[in-house]
Structure 1
Amino acid sequence: MMKERGLPRSLRLMFSGGVAVGLGLLAHSVQAQETKTDDAPQQMQRVEITGSSIKRVANEGVSPITIIKADDFAKAGITTASEALGSIAANQSQFTTSTNVGKGGTVGASADLRSLGSNKTLVLLNGRRLANSAFDGSTVDLNIIPIAALDRVEVLRDGASAIYGTDAIGGVINFITKRSYTGLNVSGEGIVPSKSGGQEGRINVSGGIGDLDKDGYNFFGVVDYHKQSRITAGQRGITGNVPSLGLSQTSGNTFPANFVDTGNGVSGNPLLATGCNAAHLAPNAKGTSCRYDYSSTIDVVPETSELAVIGKGTFKLNADNNASIEYLHSESKVKQTVAGDVFSGNGSDYLLPSSSKYYPGNGTTPAVAGLSGDPLSVNFRSAGFGGRVSEAKNTADRLLLSLDGTMWGWDYKTGLSYAVSKAQETLVSGYLNNDAVRAALLNGTLNPFGASDPGVYDAIKNTGKYLDAKTTISSLDFTASREIAQLPAGPLGFAIGGEYRHETAEYDIIHSVADLSESTGSSTSQSQSGKRNVGAVFSELSIPIVKNLEAQLAVRYDDYSDVGSTINPKIGLRWQPAQNLMFRSSYSTGFRAPSLYELNQPASTTFTSGSYNDPKLCPGGNVAAGGVEVRDCNTQFFTQTGGNKSLQPEKSTSFTLGTVFEPIKDVTVSIDYWNIKIKNQIGVISEADIFADPNKYANLYIRKPDGSLDYIVQTNQNLGNVHTQGFDLGLGWRLPKTRVGDFAFSIDGTYVTQYDYQSEKGGPYLNNLAVYAGGVGSTPGVVFRWRHNATLNWKNGPWGAMFQQTFSTGYVDANNAVSAPYDTHNVGSYTRYNTSLTYTGIKNLTLTGGIKNILDKKPPASNQVDNFQIGYDPRYGDIVGRAFFVRANYQFF
């Protein structure tokens, strides 16, 4: 045991936990200690804090950490781990569940500290790794985190490769479950938006038996189920035609079909003469063909469901040592709907003969003048059979056997774990067999211009699982720490440990389904697999240099069987010159090994997110010699993605400098400066950049023998460097007591001063700060100059309330999909307010009700085209709108 010393209790809280943001942690934690005096010495349990291997009193670390208590999730109506991390200002951008729309083989949801890419944020569960999402391969799917089983979330806002190894460049997020539990607890929650769609329901049951100290054992388990219904574009009025932005993201693959006469080259649409008067259809700018507004027929929020089951048994071996077994099973399903299947004619791909009863002028289809009578090459969608519906299922399992305690004066922990992540993509409806479509056009049963023969859909549909993937991690770890000497300024802390991991990855293409539908993007893919062994040793020292000055020294050696070895050190300093003032600083190097997925991802071909002009056959939107307007102009082309076995690790340096101080009683302020540089970032050149500079990226255009564009290449590669820096700012204020109750205010903000990146090695540095740009990774986005979350908490007896504001500054929009005068658009700042009321006056029952997005603030308008949701950006805006939630929690015993 060690005596607590140093800063006042409120300052110690801010120091060890960063700023307790957004969810009432500050008020909860400070009020819980009101009966104690600051001067009374107390014995405190030594614990392990995220970012260090040395057990210590919580206020002795050197790294900035934000702690969110899980008990406060309910107060804000938070239902997913992804939403919980949205309250952390440093977590600037995320791959949200809504971003899955229109994309296959993705992580369901991910975190992204410092906007460096989700693959540079390490996600842990109880301090140990989970298997990464099987499809993404480089980050954990947040949808599989068992939020109902959590005790707290610790967010380390500092590079930590010297402690944890790969992936910890941007920081570490450690989800920590309850250590033990006794009793039975049941809770239910419902969320109802004020507009149609998007309803949510949640129920969880947790229970446990045995007192670890009295009985020598504890068993507890949690079962949690959450479901959210879909929201369609029509339910929110979101379409691709936004006149105020000059934005019209449409497709030349239409329903009814556009066509090209293979005999004389005449092109058009049977409905062109009537102004393309059909659902989601409109004439193109030149009035020569029709365009299909595909973005108005999609889900803007997909239907989702999550199930998590976690069980843990802990056994007290003796007074100082425990053994435990823990098992997690979690699964997430995302079902999404996009526009009908696409069949793009290219001379001889999809031909409608003049003998067909659906040929223009033969009956139901209006006649078109000038046709030669030769077959028509048709470009169309299967909108007559509904949209394409697919389901992605991700499951995670982890079995952990562990020992921890104290032996021979050493604090130790060791664990043997096996973690597996599985993912699959399934075609549910709306996908068609391409060969069967060609045959049905020729035999006259499929109508590309209207209603087809009865029963034809059943004859040509394509359903079933077409992608299957699995990643595994088998690991053995050991860490031991103790005070090894007594120096004049205090005890010298020491830790040493090691880790061994065996990782595998398998990516299987189910060709019996994938080959039948080109729009899956997998018909030309081949199954791939990879494996690696990783060995690591690490050590750490906590050195009291002089009174109130402490240093942290850490170093880690990692050896990868496939990409080599690396050594990464870290040095940190903590100086407390006065009782109400503390300074902290750190410098470290980091690395990220390319994931097995990035190395071995199967090459696949799918449609680009946006619509573009072929720079050769339709430069500037004008058809050139050999070009065909409906094929080459303002259309979605194919893009090929895949792995690269020649990838090299990313390397980084990180520097932080911060202070925590109490200017006046009960007011705590923290300021932390951070500076991160990355070399050899792994990513792809964005599709927008490729089409914006066809000369520079000429080698990425792959053409067919007739000169038309077959696909662009977007495989993984080592790009250039990244340099970002900024400040994390926090304020916590416990107001004086009043007759109407106790109030506490907190604010957590991040101000970014620089974010520059290179899109290629040796290239110029480009700005991504407050500007929509390429940045890091495969999808362009924005780095906000300032984001904050501010919370006011109130408590009076059994009543409690919370009022919260989230804010982000505006930025220069994408502007690369529109022409003047709409190409100078700026996205405005974005503010939302949430509130809730909690009552605990009934024994064993807690009731909470609230409103999310009180003012029903719509997401700011954006002309980005990198996501299928057009008119706004689903990564940064709340399309659900105002939503009411209620929650009841009852503890039976």
Structure 2
Amino acid sequence: SPGDNAGVDLNNIPAGAIQRVEVLKDGASAIYGTDAIGGVINFITRKDYTGVDVAASAAGTQQGGAGKRTLSLSAGTGNLSTDRFNVFGVLDVQQLDRLRSGQRRFISEHPLATTLPAQMSSNTYPANIDISGAQRAALISAGLLPAGSTSSRVNPSAPRCNPPATVYAEKGPGGVAGCSYDYMEDTEIYPDSRKIGFIGRATFQLDPDNQLFAELVQSEAKTKYVLSPNPVRIRSLPVSILPDAYRTALSAPGLPSTFSGIRYRMAEAGNRSNEVTSTGQRLLLGATGTLAGWDYDVALGRAENKAVDKYVNGYVLYDRFEAGVRAGTINPFGPSPQAGLDLINSIKINDEARKAKGVSTSLDGKMSRSLATLAGGDLALAVGGELRHEHQTFTPSDLLRSNNIAGDRDSTIPAGELADVETADNTRKVASVFTEVVAPFTKELEMQFALRWDHYSEVGNTTNPKIGLRWQPMQSLLLRASAGTGFRAPSLSDLKRPTIFGTTAGILTDPQCVQQEGSIDTCTDQWDVERRSNPNLKPEKSRQFTLGVVFEPVKRTSLSIDYWNIEKRDVISTLGEQVIIENPAAYNGKYIQRDEDGFISSILLMKENQGKLKTSGFDIGGEWRTERGPWGRFGIDLSGTLILHYDRQFGPAEPFRSNLGVFLNDQVIQKWRHRVNFEWDNGPLALTLANQYSTGYTDQNTTYDPYTDKLLPPNHVKYYSLWDLTGSWTVSKQLRVRAGVLNLFNADPPFSNQAWFFLAGYDPSYTDPRGRSAFVSVNYSFR
């Protein structure tokens, strides 16, 4: 999305262009870049290719939605040894289908009205009405409310309401006389997405030792995001727009001619839909080879990414919509007349809201050679560096700046008044130099020394060393260790992204309001927020070390365990909205703004240096293989991580809080995660049964129990385990077929009461809502 801080979408790299993937788990800051604190994953693309490959795949889910289809074409010609050139290209096309929340049983069978009523919304269709005490008394006298009612929020359609999304929930935010909105019945979990990517490379052999190459990567992704209809609150409306019975009751002598307002869901405008188009291009020109005893690799590159966010449905001009409600043309309490529908259709927005562009131009190179011969091998030296210029722009549309888009505006200022959303045009320069020495002192002992210096024009210089040791006292035993420092400069988006207005991701209850009002009825909402960057951010810094052992007791059996320890300082993050709202004494005035009645008017979410993060744990691996026999070969692979501690600060002076096995702020850190593969290979046929597992944890605990007006008791989220069964059949040298069933036992995501993510009832950060799915892929090579 334009202006966000997301990294590169690796799905845009054509799968057929990837030659291999390298994973380095220990600190890699001194070699790959200072922000590679915990290691690095390298996707190594092909350098040359001859022949033609065609690959296609299709996947579908048992419960519908979230299907995927891909088509890939690879073609290349030219032999570097004989023709002295190679040219190849890979074209990859993907289509991902949307997944609506109503298509999943674990959502439809556990509606928020019975599981988490406090996370429902008070913005409904038909609209809820907020009234005064005197108006409530008039409704009681007219028989429209029961005697003794204390409700300050009513809905003329209650208790029928308008299911399945607008429902009667006695303990929802609509209260006993209103309706509540279950947005999980009316949204999408996965968006519809279409992607096309291309990578092409031409390599020319200048002489036996040197090559020139040019590489082009081009991609485009179009994604359509669909959410529930826009919520809107309009204050101080005339009694004359109310349904007949309510209008008559509230027009009695002595009563005001207006009521407090409505909490409305703009269903007649349709679901909020925006289409984000992201395009990327990278051009690389370089040379590689050997010169004067040095192996070298140098390249000049330019990468450009653009993103355009376009509203295509569900968004309207706020001022004209509000005027239509006040005039009675638009009926918020039921179907609007044709004139109202015509007005809504005429003010719908189908236009760009914002766009962003980022350009990175770089010159990088590295050289390596052997300096001497030691007892264990060559003493190797590598040196390298990079010069990079980054340029980022953010351009809001005139309409966005006018503060007149319902659902994307600053509600604290009038429609038409310029919002604090400015055009941004920012640049910075980055320079880096690194060196690495690998010294095999003996055949048993090898050491690595690395040093990297980086300069960022925004934040200054940093120097980060790394030392590594590898000692193999016997054939079956290897000991390894490393230590180093790291540094992560804030991105341009962290520093200078324009303000973005919106609402909290989840439905949150204000504890100060509960104490003031005595009930959650008027204290639970999706509050307005301002998301701001911070030009005063300092860079993150880190220290990390690892210590590990690899043991091979018998042939074809290997066990490994690596201890790692990382400490970060000045961690760049945003304090979570629920952490802010549950601590009004600490954050009133700083992050929480309130109106004259004490209700929240907005919450500030700003990038900050939050303090320290300390974590440690073990990476555990195992591999076992049998000899190939009449029934083939069997094997087991295990890769797991055990976290010992994960402690965070939410401010430099704040105490450490453990995030291990507890949902805190914006995430949960499970104590144990693993993937284990049980494999069988018998020539052309192979099968793999795989299990992914993560332990349970203590849930986020910021949701109120509407029956007691107190926080819900702690919830334990159970473990999560998925089993996949996949197989492959090599029909011939040209044809290979793969198929499989993912989530073999159709496991649902475990229930969670988290309110950090918009999707309620489960945690989408580590679970898979697709359920059981199946896929098949075919690859044919013309060689």
TM (norm. structure 1) is 0.80
Partner of 1:757: 648
* 1:375-774 equivalences in 2 (<5 Å): 375-376=258-259, 377-454=261-338, 455-513=342-400, 515-521=403-409, 524-619=420-515, 622=518, 632-698=522-588, 699-704=590-595, 707-774=598-665
Q: Secondary structure at the match of 2:185?
A: helix
- From 800, 807, 816, the equivalent of 2:702 is 816
Query: Aligned with 1:436: secondary structure?
Result: helix
The structural deviation recorded for 1:544 is 2.5
Are 1:856 and 1:882, in contact at CA under 8 Å, matched by a contact in 2? Answer: yes
Task: String of CA shifts for 1:97-154, please: whole Å, max 9, x gaps.
Answer: xxxxxxxx4xxxxxxxxxxxxxxxxxxxxxxxxxxxx633363223323223111111
Aligned in 2, Cα 1:651/1:595: closer, same or farther, shift over 3 Å?
A: same
Question: Quick one: which amino acid aligns to residue 310 of structure 1?
Answer: I
Give CA deviations for 1:710-752 in whole Å, capped at 9, x if unaligned: 2111111110100111111111111122212122221111111
Where 1:324 maps in the other structure, the secondary structure is strand
* Aligned CA distance change for structure 1 residues 620 and 817 (closer, same or farther; 3 Å): farther
Gaps of 5+ in 2: 137-151, 411-418
Q: Which residue of 2 aligns with 1:293?
A: 182
Q: Structure 1, residues 386-422: CA drift from partner, whole Å, max 9, x if none?
A: 2111122222211111111111111111110001121
Structure 1: gaps spanning 5 or more residues = 1-104, 106-133, 624-628, 775-779
Alignment partner of 1:887 is 2:777: yes
- Residue 165 of structure 1: how far off its partner (Å): 2.4
Q: Aligned partners of 1:138 and 1:305: how far apart in 2?
A: 19
1:263/1:832 CA distance change after superposition, 3 Å = closer
Q: Deviations over 1:591-619 (max 9, x none)?
A: 00010000001112210012223444443
The answer to whether structure 1 residue 783 and structure 2 residue 669 are counterparts is yes
Cα separation, 1, equivalents of 2:577 and 2:327? 38
- The answer to whether 1:374 aligns with 2:257 is yes
- In the alignment, the residues of structure 2 paired with residue 448 and residue 762 of structure 1 have an alpha-carbon distance, to the nearest angstrom, of 49
Does structure 1 residue 361 correspond to structure 2 residue 234? no
- AA in 2 matched with 1:184: V
Amino acid at match of 1:785: K
**Equivalent residue in structure 2 for 1:253, among 113, 118, 123:** 123
**Cα offset for 1:706?**
5.7
Once residues 64 and 176 of structure 2 are traced to their aligned partners in structure 1, the CA distance between those partners, rounded to angstroms, is: 36
Against the structure 1 CA distance between its residues 536 and 465, is the aligned structure 2 distance closer, same or farther, given a 3 Å change threshold? same
Instruction: Give the letter for the 2:358 counterpart.
Output: T
Cα deviation for residue 243 of structure 1 reads 7.0
Are the counterparts in 1 of residues 314 and 348 from structure 2 also a CA contact under 8 Å? yes
Q: Distance in 2 between matches of 1:730 and 1:688?
A: 37
Question: Structure 2 CA distance, aligned partners of 1:261 and 1:249?
Answer: 22
The verdict on how the C-alpha distance between 1:764 and 1:613 changes in structure 2, with shifts beyond 3 A counting, is same
Kindly indicate whether the alpha-carbon contact (under 8 Å) linking 1:241 and 1:249 is maintained by their aligned counterparts in 2: no
Give the letter for the 1:345 counterpart: I
The alpha-carbon deviation at position 815 of structure 1 amounts to: 2.3
Between 330-339 and 394-403, report the one with greater CA deviation: 330-339
Work out which structure has the larger RCO, using CA pairs closer than 8 Å and 6 or more positions apart in sequence: 1
3-state DSSP of counterpart to 1:196: coil
1:203-352 correspondence runs (5 A): 203-237=71-105, 238=107, 241-242=111-112, 245-246=115-116, 248-261=118-131, 266=136, 267-271=152-156, 273-274=158-159, 276=161, 278-280=163-165, 281-285=167-171, 286-347=175-236, 351=237
Q: In the comparison of the two structures, how many residue pairs are matched?
A: 742
Q: 2:315·2:406 contact (CA, 8 Å) conserved in 1? A: no
1:486: how far off? 2.4
Where is the strand percentage greater, Structure 1 or Structure 2? 2
Compared with structure 1, are the counterparts of its residues 885 and 490 closer, same or farther at alpha carbon in structure 2 (3 Å cutoff)? closer
Scaled by the length of structure 2, the TM-score of the pair is: 0.91
Query: Partner letter of residue 603 of structure 1?
Result: T
RMSD over aligned Cα atoms = 2.2
CA distance in 1, matches of 2:158, 2:432: 70
Matching residue's letter, 2:386: E
Q: Distance in 2 between matches of 1:592 and 1:558?
A: 10
Distance in 2 (CA, whole Å) between partners of 1:193 and 1:137 is 31
**Structure 1: how far apart are the matches of 2:346 and 2:258?**
23
Distance in 1 (alpha carbons) for counterparts of 2:628 and 2:578: 56
Partner of 2:141: none
Which residue in the other structure is 1:50 paired with? none
Mapped partners of 1:647, 1:732: distance in 2: 44
DSSP-derived class of the 1:715 partner: strand
- Structure-2 change in CA distance of 1:731 and 1:274 (3 Å): closer
Q: Secondary structure at the match of 1:163?
A: helix
Q: Report deviation, 1:862.
A: 0.8
How much does 1:524 deviate? 3.9
Greater Cα offset, 554-563 or 453-462: 453-462
Inter-partner Cα distance in structure 2 for 1:392 and 1:607: 19
Q: Distance in 1 between matches of 2:600 and 2:392?
A: 33
Measure the CA separation in 1 of the matches of 2:505 and 2:249. Answer: 32
Say if 1:263 and 1:373, in contact at 8 Å, map to a contact too. no
- Asked if the contact 2:366–2:382 (Cα under 8 Å) also holds between the matched residues in 1, the reply is yes
